[in-house]
Structure 1
Amino acid sequence: MSLAAVHATLSGLKECQTDIGTGMDIVTDVAMDLAETQEGADNSGISKMEAMILECAKLDREINHFVDIVQQVTAEVGAQPPEAMFSLTARVKEQFTEKIARLSDGELQRHQKVLAFKESIRNSLSQANPESAENMEDEDEDIAVTQSQVNFTCPLTQVDMVNPMKNKKCNHHYDEGAILDLIKKKHSQKKKCRCPVVGCENTDVSQSDLVPDQMLRRMIQNQKRQGNRT
């Protein structure tokens, strides 16, 4: 196996991760539809959707760890004699098996898409059943953002967001690709990434601060559909 073949395989896995993320968004949309209709009264459907989200999160996590291990092992092998390539597969398998054995399912609850799923379902159930909204306010106090505070336009691209990400620190939103590119650029310059929203005092935006906002994404999509009809 050549290093070029290894890199090609990793690229394929990263594309697979993109598809997994898209699938998780679709599952979230279906669960939100269930929560917003009478079917939401039957939580079994939503529970099945949540189980699917967790399985996808588990697969996404395993791919992340596998890619990291392969990159680490190939870097080590690259500095060794060519015959070291013959042990590449065995070394990756050993380290990956050890890594997976140490992981807990509880960690999946902190996956970005899982957090976004739960927040979206809470918001949808709240809208479908106003009587329960008051009880849910305390639970959602730290993550709630009113529609009046949200702008569909990304502060970086100045166009409507496609995949809005919410900053847990300052509650501002940005399009996923734009904010991740900015963070990467600033880190390459060894600088902190300041929140691009004018007047925001958050001077250190990191990827771990960002969570997908599925509710906002649906609002943007609904607005576009209404615009197309007119």
Structure 2
Amino acid sequence: MSLNEVRVSVLSLQSCQSDIRTGMDILTDVAMDLAEAREEGVHTGIKEMEVMILECAKLDREIDYFVDIVDQVTSAARAQQPEALVNLSATVKEQFTERIAQLSDADLHNHSKVMAFKDSIKTSFNQANEESAENMEELDEDIAVTQSQVNFTCPLTQVEMVNPMKNKKCNHHYEEPAILDLIKRRHSQNKKCRCPVVGCGNANVRESDLILDQVLRRRIQSQKRQNSHT
């Protein structure tokens, strides 16, 4: 197998990984609907979905490590003799097996989409519990105020967000790939990443501070549907 064929295979794998992540978002949406409906057996259903999203997180993590190892091994192979390509597959398999053996399933709970799943369910339950005939009108007003305060436009891309990430320190939102790319570029320059929102004093945005805001994502989608109807 040539290095070009390896690269094509990696791109196909990354395409599957994108589908896995989309599936995790769909799982979160369905779980939020269940939490808001408050129907009988909702906790059992959500627990089953949590098991599913953890399995997806495990597969997502393994693909990340596999792609990383392939990139390292192929980069090293380019500087060696063609015969090195013969052992390429075995080298990748050996290093991948060693890396996976060192991982803990407990770490899956720190996966960004798993954390977003749990945070979204908690928020949905809280909102459902707050809703009643007495406070429905007041709740609608609060939601309207909240939506007007949260800017749906990413401060980096200057377009409406699709997958908003919330900074737990300063509560600002950014488009997921945009903020992750900014953090990566700043770190490659040995610099801290400042929050791109004008006037924010957060001078060190870290990936660990970010969480996917599935509630805001649903609001953005809801607004799009309303705009299309009008």
Verify the 8 A CA contact 1:195 1:203 in the aligned structure 2. Answer: yes
Match of 2:160 in 1: 160
Aligned to 1:141: none
Determine the C-alpha separation between the residues in 2 that align with 1:8 and 1:228.
Answer: 38
CA distance in 1, matches of 2:207, 2:9: 25
Distance in structure 2 (CA, Å) of the matches to 1:90 and 1:30:
41
Which residue of 1 is the match for residue 60 of structure 2? 60
5+ unaligned residues in a row in structure 1: which ranges?
132-145
Partners of 1:208 and 1:21 in 2: CA distance: 18
Question: What is the aligned partner in structure 1 of residue 88 from structure 2?
Answer: 88
Give the alignment of 1:63-212 within 5 angstroms.
Answer: 63-130=63-130, 149-187=149-187, 189-212=189-212
Q: 1:199 to 1:41 in 2, by over 3 A?
A: farther
| 1:96 CA drift (Å) | 0.9
Aligned AA (2:179): I
TM-score, scaled to structure 2: 0.86
Separation in 1, partners of 2:177, 2:210: 12
Q: Distance in 2 between matches of 1:170 and 1:51?
A: 31
TM-score, normalized by length of structure 1?
0.86
Q: How many residue pairs align between the two structures?
A: 216
Whether 2:23 is the aligned partner of 1:4: answer: no
**Which moves more between the two structures, 200-209 or 103-112?**
200-209
Q: How far, CA to CA, are the matches of 1:88 and 1:176 in structure 2? A: 34
Paired letter, 1:68? D
Q: How far is the alpha carbon of 1:221 from its aligned partner?
A: 0.9
Of 206-215 and 62-71, deviating more is 206-215
Q: Say whether residues 1:32 and 2:32 are aligned partners.
A: yes
Moved over 6 A (4+): none
CA distance in 1 between counterparts of 2:192 and 2:182 reads 10
| Backbone CA RMSD of aligned residues | 2.0
CA distance in 1, matches of 2:105, 2:60: 13
Structure 2 unaligned spans of 5+: 132-145
Q: CA deviation at 1:78?
A: 2.0
